[in-house]
Structure 1
């Protein structure tokens, strides 16, 4: 389990490279949901998502030999962008492996940052190619199965604990589980009374399936939300979720997209469906915990285009 000391060390390490993103009350979402809502705006983070935190923490701990060998990352979009951009800044050669379902703008962003981008038919094939490249000598920067990455993501929880008012419930999207694991580990120590809820989309239910099975299992992916589409959570992230997360809620792709549009309308913030899914889940949390709740929503990323949501543009 990740300790608070590791998260604090990560915060110090990455501070020159990433942003301390705003943690702000949202009058619009508070009015919509009928309870106080605080938004953590990782949409404003470098590379457009929280992924810059974990990637930077991992890259900064590479030894000289690993830096010389170069790194490889598998990604549905945001992790690949983060590794490409931060590796470029730190002078490390990067290869990013993405499935064809990854957004075209994510591939373009990784390429523009100087990374070599390899495209596979699907996410399981992307993980397989990454394993082969790792066997050839590249150093993996895993999107979630790495304590250094989890500690980096946990800095979001540090900032929430420092900057948010009194919260009763924090909602966090889950792909492979790195973000929620890091945040839950930080809040366990700093805000022990806060409940942490995970949110997935139908067809990208790796964590809820693992919790039902008693451990990580492979899942079939069908969600259009590529940034949440991990084919399997890791033992590391599963252990954190099983111990620290109140529950994992699953919403439809359509509700996730509607959540994106509602957040844009009410909070005046553009998110991707991986963050939009929090809004329908928040309504279900309120049904369970009651109207005295004070919610924190981690708006994890904003790397979606209107075209990718079928809105033209």
Structure 2
């Protein structure tokens, strides 16, 4: 069955739709003394992560009945926070199914945005959300397996193209694949053949790398993906995001836990950017030399820092190791 992919026009429409809901994050200098690249700090968004873009677009597209009944999703934190905030701003009730063991800092922020939380074992999160969709007739807004969400996330790429006309490489984290799918769609559609989009995921949660290498969707069990400290990318691709990445992503690389830890510390100490492990994946790949850069031309390479919602105790431990 052919999957219906989003287009650059969908992303442009989303950008118009979410104006006033999201921050147009700047491009800032990367860490000194290493490879030359810029940062796109989505950690500066109102919920501390890029997820607000897709959530705001999805909520804006709800019909009146859906807005009255409310929305539901499943999330370990960033998407849940984003959907809760976007829904609250439009007076829409929001329920988030949260996996046991989700970072406390993210759980508390979901509550702070007014979400009703339903905590379940990690393996039951998606099924529990679908059950609430059925029994309470809520509108399901998945973290990534949704065209409106992907189009919203693609606005990160649209902004990068507008802010850096000389960019030739964009490096993005990959979990469920919504961000990479949206950014790669924009790059391929707006500047075909001129921009390379590289995805990055942890070695301990490398389902996307295996899927793209084998040419078929491969799903890793949660006991494998939950080994990585990068909690935001422990989910696997969907058929929808896999189709987008197979069509538009140029390359995917993996990084070790040590490389992720180092990137979090380097971003904080040398670039003054607070990043959670998932948000530091693109920087980790660049610092480890797994993605080439252009010497003396930082504007040619942009690393997306996808989120900054790190547990303070974890951040302290990683800084102490550096």
> Same fold, TM exceeding 0.5?
yes
For structure 1, the residue ranges without an aligned partner over 5 or more in a row are: none
For residue 205 of structure 1, report the CA deviation from its aligned partner: 2.0
- RMSD over aligned CA atoms reads 2.0
Instruction: Tell me the residue number matched to 2:309.
Output: 303
Instruction: Tell me the residue number matched to 1:130.
Output: 129
After superposition, the C-alpha distances for 1:210-242 in whole angstroms (9 at most, x for unaligned) are 213322232022222111111x31111111111
Instruction: Tell me the residue number matched to 2:212.
Output: 211
> C-alpha distance in 2, partners of 1:256/1:83?
27
1:143 has 2:143 as partner: yes
For residue 273 of structure 1, report the CA deviation from its aligned partner: 0.8
Change (3 A) 1:98 1:213: farther
For residue 252 of structure 1, report the CA deviation from its aligned partner: 1.7
SS in 2 for 1:47: coil
Q: Is the 8 A contact 1:171 1:297 kept in 2?
A: yes
> C-alpha distance in 2, partners of 1:113/1:183?
27
Instruction: Tell me the residue number matched to 2:258.
Output: 254
After superposition, the C-alpha distances for 1:176-227 in whole angstroms (9 at most, x for unaligned) are 0000110111111223311111011132223112213322232022222111
Select the residue among 233, 238, 241 that pairs with 1:228: 233
Instruction: Tell me the residue number matched to 1:118.
Output: 118
Instruction: Tell me the residue number matched to 1:267.
Output: 271
> C-alpha distance in 1, partners of 2:253/2:164?
23
Q: Is the 8 A contact 1:257 1:309 kept in 2?
A: no
SS in 2 for 1:48: coil
Which deviates further from its counterpart, 290-299 or 186-195? 290-299
Select the residue among 237, 244, 249 that pairs with 1:240: 244
After superposition, the C-alpha distances for 1:103-160 in whole angstroms (9 at most, x for unaligned) are 10111111111111111221x3111211211221221111111110011011111100
> C-alpha distance in 1, partners of 2:62/2:163?
31
| TM-score, length-scaled by structure 2 | 0.90
Instruction: Tell me the residue number matched to 2:164.
Output: 164
For residue 40 of structure 1, report the CA deviation from its aligned partner: 0.9
The runs of at least 4 consecutive aligned structure 1 residues that moved more than 3 Å come to 283-293
Change (3 A) 1:312 1:276: closer
Instruction: Tell me the residue number matched to 1:88.
Output: 88
Q: Is the 8 A contact 1:256 1:278 kept in 2?
A: no
SS in 1 for 2:6: coil
| TM-score, length-scaled by structure 1 | 0.92
Change (3 A) 1:292 1:310: closer
Paired residues, what number? Answer: 307
> C-alpha distance in 2, partners of 1:68/1:190?
37
For residue 284 of structure 1, report the CA deviation from its aligned partner: 5.2
> C-alpha distance in 1, partners of 2:260/2:202?
7
Kindly report which structure 2 residues correspond to 1:2-151, keeping only aligned pairs within 5 A, or say none.
2-24=6-28, 26=29, 28-29=30-31, 31-33=33-35, 35=36, 37-122=37-122, 124-136=123-135, 137-151=137-151
For residue 312 of structure 1, report the CA deviation from its aligned partner: 9.1
SS in 1 for 2:73: strand
For structure 2, the residue ranges without an aligned partner over 5 or more in a row are: none
Change (3 A) 1:119 1:213: farther
Instruction: Tell me the residue number matched to 1:201.
Output: 202
Q: Is the 8 A contact 1:101 1:226 kept in 2?
A: no
